[in-house]
Structure 1
Amino acid sequence: MSIDSTQRFSNRVDDYVRYRPDYPPALIDWLRKQHGLVPGWAVADIGAGTGISSKLFLDAGAQVIAVEPNTPMRAAAERWLGGEPRFRAVAGTAEATTLPAASVDLVTAAQAFHWFDPAAVRQEWARILKPGGLAAVFWNSRLLTGTPFLEGYERLLLDHGTDYVSIAERYADDAAMQRWFGAGYRGMARFPHRQRLDFEALSGRLLSSSYVPREGQPGHVSMLAALRELFDATAADGVVGFDYETRIFVGTLPPPA
């Protein structure tokens, strides 16, 4: 994880907390049924951000260590989840977690995975996993087509985003994730997920993205005007459906052949 990426969301924490999507409960059910997740597992949530993914595993009964290098985001996670005795947060990166060797049952990474150095991360996660421990990588992929709103939102990002295209291209496809796990690959699953957003929430969701102009930056006003026009044209009963496909990949991390 580069220094630039670790600080990328520092000025977007409030929007991130309020408007970013969570993850479908079916993801946890799949981990339980297919991969043996049980309450009490020690989970290292890497790039935990404001704690959205950490909350998922806390609710499943895990002991969660949130590893997050960005101070404002880590502080937000601690404000939200710090009252839970099974939660703690540490200042570390995906490639240098600060965690002891062979100390966790499961390493997870959600939306932040595309910022990491894949080779360094694999080595570090293998180090902190207990023998036979699992790694799970998952993220919400926003659907680009299927409704007038989804297609219009994609056009809006292409027209008004700053480095949107380069960020979108960072996400790995299924074959790349299977190669990353190598011989330890155990499988993947897909789940539908949706946010229903009024205009205020849609604006916050847009501004939580690191690749759009903030208030006071060139293009901000015209972007919000375009968003208002899109919302008015596509909303039903005062909301739009912000649809995702959540993908999860699971495996062990044996040494490379």
Structure 2
Amino acid sequence: MTEQLLRSSFGAAAAAYAEHRPDYAQAAVRWALDVAPGQRVLDLGAGTGKLSATLLAVGVDVVAVEPDPAMLAELRRAMPAVRALPGSAEVIPLPDASVDAVLAGNALHWFDMAVAGPEIARVLAPGGVLAGLWNVMDDRIDWVADLERVSGSAAIGPRDTLSAWRTATADMLGPAVRFGSSEQAEFPHGQRRTAESLVATLATRAGMLVMPEADREALLGRIRSFLESRPDTAEGEFTLPMLTGVLRARRQ
């Protein structure tokens, strides 16, 4: 399965992505930015605007860039006040040194950093911040670890749990030219879900979106049965225990 196929899978589920994917912990966004309110921030690979909404809430000036037309349309519909542009991490439609920070929510791992690194550095002001943020499930909780085993890598991938995220992102910015050494931090977060809405959330994962329909429905059925069998998740709403993990580096 090619990286391009996975990367381009989200547009077909843009409305479900907007409805079911979580927002980002505000404390994580503030740490990632390390800039004062009112400064200029690029949400790169913005999707349907989950990170843009949190950026607005912490008081910065946001511009969003997203390559997928369906995801971009959903962002513009939900947040008409945000300047939202077509573009990619490899070709950013902004002038040199025009933003103080570049943030990417659940998107940095899709970037070709050999090309995107210099392009991000181009649009950043000197000393500006590049940060990737990921919402990850806390697999230190027993039922979450069990859910990971039931779901498999298509639904819960290599950056979707805390332990996997720490390993997968530790050196992600290592080869990115024009940036200093990176640092990681994690911030408590959570999302209110039911068994059915958590199934719907997992259905928006790239690995699920590209599966044959029969295989996808069979796997979602197994996940649903697991959730309905657990006292933690069987009845009504529960909190999906999560963290927002951040990888941050500064433009040299």
Q: Which amino acid aligns with 1:39?
A: P
Change (3 A) 1:170 1:114: farther
Partner residue, 1:54: 52
**Cα distance, 1:41 vs structure 2:** 0.9
CA contact 1:68–1:74 (8 Å) conserved in 2: yes
Q: Which amino acid aligns with 1:70?
A: D
Taking structure 2 as the reference length, the TM-score comes to 0.85
Correspondence 1:157 to 2:120: no
Change (3 A) 1:171 1:75: farther
Q: Quick one: distance in 2 between partners of 1:70 and 1:172?
A: 28
Correspondence 1:128 to 2:126: no
Give 1:223's match in structure 2, choosing from 219, 226, 233.
Answer: 219
Correspondence 1:137 to 2:129: no
Deviations 1:96-121 (A, max 9, x none): 11111111111111201111112211
Moved segments of 4+, more than 4 Å: 164-172, 180-183, 213-216
**What aligned pairs does 1:95-106 form with structure 2 within 5 A after superposition?**
95-106=90-101
Deviations 1:224-245 (A, max 9, x none): 3212211111225423442222
Structure 2's unaligned 5+ residue stretches are none
Q: Which amino acid aligns with 1:233?
A: S
Deviations 1:41-87 (A, max 9, x none): 111110000000011111122111111000000011001111x2xx2
SS at match of 1:56: helix
**What aligned pairs does 1:74-223 form with structure 2 within 5 A after superposition?**
74-82=72-80, 84=81, 87-148=82-143, 150-158=144-152, 161=154, 173=168, 175-177=170-172, 179-180=174-175, 184-185=180-181, 187-212=183-208, 217-223=213-219
Q: Quick one: distance in 1 between partners of 2:157 and 2:133?
A: 21
Q: Quick one: distance in 2 between partners of 1:167 and 1:211?
A: 12
Change (3 A) 1:75 1:226: same
**Cα distance, 1:191 vs structure 2:** 0.8
CA contact 1:23–1:246 (8 Å) conserved in 2: yes
Q: Cα RMSD (Å) of the superposition? A: 2.8
**Cα distance, 1:166 vs structure 2:** 7.1
Partner residue, 2:251: 253
SS at match of 2:207: coil
Q: Quick one: distance in 2 between partners of 1:157 and 1:74?
A: 29
CA contact 1:181–1:253 (8 Å) conserved in 2: no
**Cα distance, 1:187 vs structure 2:** 3.5
Q: Quick one: distance in 2 between partners of 1:132 and 1:77?
A: 29
CA contact 2:203–2:220 (8 Å) conserved in 1: no
Q: Quick one: distance in 2 between partners of 1:6 and 1:19?
A: 18
Partner residue, 1:16: 17
Equivalent pairs, count: 244
Q: Which amino acid aligns with 2:16?
A: D
**Cα distance, 1:179 vs structure 2:** 2.6
Taking structure 1 as the reference length, the TM-score comes to 0.83
Q: Quick one: distance in 1 between partners of 2:195 and 2:174?
A: 40
Change (3 A) 1:31 1:217: closer
